[in-house]
Structure 1
Amino acid sequence: MAGFDKVVNSYEAALAGLEDGMTVIAGGFGLCGIPEGLIAEIKRQGTKALTVVSNNCGVDGFGLGVLLEDKQIKKMIASYVGENALFEQQLLNGDLDVELTPQGTLAEKMRAGGAGIPAFFTATGVGTMVAEGKPHKVFQGREYVMEESITGDFAIVKAWKADRFGNCIYRHTAMNFNPMAATAGKITVVEVEEIVEPGDIAPSEIHTPGIYVDRVILGQFEKRIEKRMVRG
């Protein structure tokens, strides 16, 4: 990388500095909008004892699910378990620490972390196991629970297009958790389908400004469908 040019040419360079025990925030929802190549590189490097923050943990054999195979994930902070048999098995066996968080709360934890807000109050989860042991406060007659924000050592994100300065555009539902995740990492790495020159993306079209992005890599995506439903 030189100056404002954030493009790297290898996955090894994209994840340089990732070490055992770090926290990784990953964009995506199911298998939609996941940084496939970056996840595969974590698998290849064999980095272990990771805390991973994402909506879910992929599926067996793909997405974040591949990191379960060699028990690279120590703790998963997610809102959805999904159809991942290995995830369920490791959870029940006590091999994986899981912190289930309501989906909107998880998104706000990332957004708040990226905005430098240490905690916030929400009514979501009040009166349930989600709120146990957390501070409560009443505002205008309604009870709220305090949730702490989340930041990560790394954020790995998938975007449709980015320029060399790191300004990103997400496409359709692949936007999901990616914009929030991108703001919440000390080092944010974006894997994209296309890299363009600065100025080719109109300022009004930018979803994530390059100020949040440290590295950009051009990826190749399989784009699997998590569960295909067809009419009988």
Structure 2
Amino acid sequence: MASKIYTTAKEALDGLLHDGMLIAAGGFGLCGIPELSIAAIRESGVKNLTVASNNAGVDGFGLGLLLETRQVKKMMSSYVGENAEFMRQYLSGELELEFNPQGTLAERMRAGGAGIPGFYTKTGVGTVIAEGKEHKDFGGQTYILEEGIFADLAIVKAWKADTTGNAIFRKTARNFNQPAATCGKVCVLEVEEIVEPGELDPDGIHLPGIYVHRIVQGTHEKRIEQRTVRKREAS
């Protein structure tokens, strides 16, 4: 079996990027984001991207880097409140936004990974989220149809993985990385540590290696999105 290991994110993404593609990006806030892949995408110059991600990073970091260079034309997101550049581009009409309730976005990714083209949910009924979507009643209650996400590429970040791609996400990083990884035609996994097959407990695997096509190990910055501290009390 050919090795899935690549030396750099640039090499791991070689031949996968093209203008106008749909990318599913893992991470939650700034936790567990695929920052190496994001930097490599920025360097590639690919443009007119649609990115499905829980949030849009912050100014100068994460997906915010791709917004700075105007490489993203549309975001499919749940939370975008920490990015001033996102707000500026959206309010000026430069950036499209497909707003999703957080659970709906995660389920749209999971559905795409399972080959499910659509599902019904009550979330969003009676709000702007439901506008233009099919409505259907089940058991006397109204649901709206949401479509699964089938991405051209998934970029995700794990804590540990073996050389076949079996991966473990750490704490909150598990929220969107796992479903994002499954819904991409190709999945590039960046990881803090790579181990040999058999070193990870099979019962602890969050993402089976069958979903992972390319792996790159690297060093990650792990920023804190908002640091909140108490004033030191006088002794």
TM-score using structure 1 length: 0.97
- 3-state SS of the aligned residue for 1:176? helix
Report the Cα distance in structure 2 between the residues aligned to 1:12 and 1:62, rounded to whole angstroms. 18
Identify the residue that residue 28 of structure 1 maps to in structure 2.
27
Identity over aligned pairs, percent: 63
Report the Cα distance in structure 2 between the residues aligned to 1:173 and 1:109, rounded to whole angstroms. 19
Identify the residue that residue 117 of structure 1 maps to in structure 2.
116
Check conservation: 1:26, 1:34, Cα contact below 8 A.
yes
AA partner of residue 221 (structure 1): H
Check conservation: 2:109, 2:182, Cα contact below 8 A.
yes
Identify the residue that residue 7 of structure 1 maps to in structure 2.
5
Post-superposition shift, 1:4? Answer: 5.0
Post-superposition shift, 1:139? Answer: 0.5
Identify the residue that residue 204 of structure 1 maps to in structure 2.
203
TM-score using structure 2 length: 0.96
AA partner of residue 96 (structure 1): L
RMSD: 0.8
Identify the residue that residue 130 of structure 1 maps to in structure 2.
129
Identify the residue that residue 181 of structure 2 maps to in structure 1.
182
Post-superposition shift, 1:5? Answer: 2.7
Identify the residue that residue 50 of structure 1 maps to in structure 2.
49
Report the Cα distance in structure 1 between the residues aligned to 2:171 and 2:132, rounded to whole angstroms. 38
Report the Cα distance in structure 1 between the residues aligned to 2:157 and 2:10, rounded to whole angstroms. 17
Report the Cα distance in structure 1 between the residues aligned to 2:4 and 2:205, rounded to whole angstroms. 16
- 3-state SS of the aligned residue for 2:27? coil
Q: Which ranges in structure 2 are unaligned for 5 or more consecutive residues?
A: none
Identify the residue that residue 38 of structure 2 maps to in structure 1.
39
Moved over 2 A (4+): none
Report the Cα distance in structure 1 between the residues aligned to 2:28 and 2:172, rounded to whole angstroms. 9
Check conservation: 1:136, 1:144, Cα contact below 8 A.
yes
Report the Cα distance in structure 2 between the residues aligned to 1:9 and 1:160, rounded to whole angstroms. 17
Report the Cα distance in structure 1 between the residues aligned to 2:60 and 2:168, rounded to whole angstroms. 28
1:171 aligns with 2:170: yes
